[in-house]
Amino acid sequence: MTPSGKAEDRFIQRYFGPLANNSEALGLHDDAAQIAVPDGKSLVVSTDTLVAGIHFFHNDPPASLARKALRVNVSDLVAKGSTPKGYFLSLALPEAQLRSQDWMSDFAVALGQDQKALGLQIMGGDTVMTKDVSAITICAFGWVPQGQMVKRSGAGVGDLLYVTGTIGDSAIGLWARRANLFGLDELTGFEQQLLACLTEQERTQLELSYLEPPTNLPAADIVLNFASSSMDISDGLSGDAATLSGASNVGMEINMADIPHHAILAPHLENEGVRARLITGGDDYQILCTVTSVRSKDFEIEMAKAKVAVTCIGKIVEQTGVRFLDGQQQELSVGANGFDHFSD
């Protein structure tokens, strides 16, 4: 299981050795990594698995896959107020991909570029050759001052609710990706109509949001210093807002008109179906957090300095549940409630 076979060792050294130029990973030559956590810090750890056919398409570019696998984990840590330091990569891939120098080297080079841009290091991992399974698990870690990780719980009545970036790019990006891979005919009429209104370039831009999630790295310290509660939006704003408010045992009022969407989609926001999709679709990897009203101006100033776009979309209220309000403060009903992997 561990990389002790000579061929596996060569494989690891060829592709991932160049990414492990730190003493803690022991050049990926050992069974474990040894990591010095600074005194007074708590470790923050998150793990996410991507499976082909569920989280990505079998022929997604390996470079995009590498970035997505890393970023969905970085996103979790940043939303907890922790700057990522390192990660472990478990690759279960079919022989065709493991043996393809092009595939593997596209994957490893992109991973190397992204870890450099994001300031973290590969520390170890595991490689398994499978018959047909493609599953990529990353377990990433960072630290925070002892006990200060920003939790989902912690939102207080009167706090303001913020999101970073724009919401729903990825939801429409997924339509563009499917159209690109399988043709427009595989989409619903509704999806086709929207895509038909977009230029080729606009579709490609949204598709990229789906393939390669954003990172809000500079936000980590600001979330740590200002947020009363925080999480990343991975299952849709609507569902994740319910999760955050549930964990904090409070309610939320969200002003629909204040939710930021990509400029490309501005002409389509009158369409209620599109709007519902934007707030229930997954894969945003933006931050959803709360800040006390007295600190909100400073929070906005710090985020602006760090060049992270933030928008106040509502507030925390006592009555539990999430309510979406229109311009007249009337409650709107939102059809789907985020996606669920399974129900029972």
Give the footprint of a second copy on residues 124-143 (CB under 8 A): 124-131, 133, 135, 137, 139
Q: Report in angstroms how near the CB of residue 150 gets to a second copy at its nearest.
A: 9
| CA pseudo-torsion sign 323, 329, 335, 339 | negative
What is the smallest separation between the CB atom of 35 and a second copy, expressed in angstroms? Answer: 4
Query: Considering beta carbons, is residue 29 or 297 the nearer one to a second copy?
Result: 29
| C-beta separation of 243 from 236 below 8 A | no
Q: Which of 106, 133, 109 is nearest to 19 (CA)?
A: 109
Residue 52 per-residue DSSP state:
B
Site for a second copy in 55-94 (CB under 8 A): 55, 72, 76-77, 79-80, 82, 88, 90, 92
**Shorter beta-carbon distance to a second copy: residue 55 or 203:** 55
Identity of the residue, 72 or 195, whose beta carbon is nearer to a second copy in the bound complex = 72
Q: Closer to a second copy at the Cβ: 166 or 245?
A: 245
Amino acid at 20: A
Q: What residue type is 176 in one-letter code?
A: A
Binding residue for a second copy (CB under 8 A) from 16, 19, 28, 48?
48
Q: Which of residues 18-47 bind a second copy (CB under 8 A)?
A: 26, 29-37, 39-47
**Closer of 47 and 105 to a second copy (Cβ):** 47
Name the amino acid, one letter, at 334.
V
Burial of 269 (0-12, 13-18, 19+ CB in 10 A): middle
Residues 174-233 that bind a second copy (CB under 8 A): 231-232
- CA dist., res. 252 & res. 18, Å (int): 47
Looking at 22, 49, 113, 271, which residue binds a second copy (CB under 8 A)? 49
Residue 51 near a second copy by CB under 8 A: yes
What's the CA gap between 136 and 118, in Å, rounded? Answer: 19
Residues 6+ apart with CB under 8 A from 94: 129, 130, 131, 132, 133, 134
The interface region with a second copy, picked from 2-10, 179-187, 294-302, 303-311 by CB under 8 A, is 2-10
Q: Which two tokens stand for residue 186?
A: 């595989």
